[in-house]
Homo-oligomer: A and B are copies of this chain.
């Protein structure tokens, strides 16, 4: 795969070992822009926020939406660490600014890992010279960045797209980490760790206009277990190195960005802890798009629905119960449900031609769709979620603070 990736120009990547992850694997990843890049970001809506989220928000405001360095450490979330956590974060950004020759406000920090343990900032500071030596712009460098930010992920997550703007190739590359504790709430901020790089020439203002819609239709439409992390972040950087100018209303660019975000969101959901089924919910005919989303979320968070999926049980009763308590305006007598191509519920009751064996076989596949027609409006929503398995419980019940 690496031989076919063309990265957006204007960025270099590196990952080194800062000895924070107990495994001893590379755990400090940096992206450095050749010259300062435009930036926009969205953060978790959890009111308990990690120090890097507090600092990152401030940095973007202070710098006017400009970023030169992205510094991500894995193994320690620097969350619930009080004032000391803020200071540790600032220690790292200050040192990175010196190392790479930029303003401190142009260094964007992220952390992921254990909560409540002080961040060993000195280890990160000490690793900066090694980062500088390791920087490169090849696909392999990008993949090393992708691996170093992983925690519970079983594989690195990347996505790429490119378009032509006035005869010039413009590229987008995205990298994400996240599996479990995934339920992004991006109104107005939220998500897991996602870094999107493009060599389009876009102002910070336009990036800030572009980002929310792409995030809404991707990262805001996935859920593994309903929990929202304290560290969720999506950062979008534009180096301008392609020379091609793109505005917020550039349809093809929006579409490519959507595609990269959706690919990463699907990879995150596919890598959920203990996941054996990935389910796409297609909600149609709701009173509004907001209601369609309510229905999707109620289903995605219902332990009874998700355990039925784990057991490959085409149980539509639990589905309509979840629809019923979603808070969406519904007419129970108008609900139709399809499992793959099999209709299992019709007018709020068991479908006349309900074929239990055929419906069960749809569920033997790792991925399947559930389409729900509510018949009360034109609101709709696509949403992706997973089953709930004994393995998920086992992983999360392991006793290790």
Chain A positions within 8 Å of B, measured between CB atoms, are 45-49, 79-82, 114-117, 180-181, 185, 225-230, 301-304, 307-308, 310-318, 320-325, 328-330, 332-333, 345, 347-350, 356, 360, 388-390, 392-394, 396-401
**Contact between chains at B323 and A48 (CB < 8 Å):** yes
**Contact between chains at A321 and B356 (CB < 8 Å):** no
**Contact between chains at A303 and B392 (CB < 8 Å):** yes
Known: A313-B400, A350-B116. A225 touches B81 (CB 8 A): no
Given contacts A82-B348, A226-B303, A301-B301, 11 further A-B contacts (CB under 8 A): A47-B324, A80-B320, A115-B320, A227-B304, A227-B325, A228-B324, A229-B321, A307-B392, A311-B396, A313-B401, A389-B397
Distance of A333 Cα from B82 Cα, bound (Å): 7
| Residues of B contacting A180 in the complex (Cβ-Cβ under 8 angstroms) | 304
Nearest residue (CB) in B for A274 is: B393
Number of copies: 2
**Contact between chains at A48 and B181 (CB < 8 Å):** no
**Contact between chains at A46 and B321 (CB < 8 Å):** yes
Closest Cβ of chain B: how far from A246's Cβ, in Å?
34
Nearest residue (CB) in B for A47 is: B324
Closest 10 pairs between A and B when the two form their complex, measured CB to CB: A48-B324, A115-B317, A311-B397, A307-B396, A390-B390, A46-B324, A228-B325, A310-B397, A225-B303, A313-B399
**Contact between chains at B393 and A307 (CB < 8 Å):** yes
User: Chain A interface secondary structure, helix, strand, loop or mixed?
Assistant: loop
| Residues of B contacting A312 in the complex (Cβ-Cβ under 8 angstroms) | 399
Q: List 24 A-B contacts (CB under 8 A).
A: A47-B332, A48-B320, A49-B332, A80-B348, A82-B348, A116-B350, A117-B350, A181-B321, A225-B304, A227-B302, A227-B303, A227-B304, A227-B325, A228-B325, A230-B320, A230-B324, A301-B301, A307-B392, A308-B397, A313-B400, A314-B401, A356-B401, A360-B399, A390-B390
Nearest residue (CB) in B for A320 is: B48
| Residues of B contacting A45 in the complex (Cβ-Cβ under 8 angstroms) | 325
Distance of A380 Cα from B336 Cα, bound (Å): 42
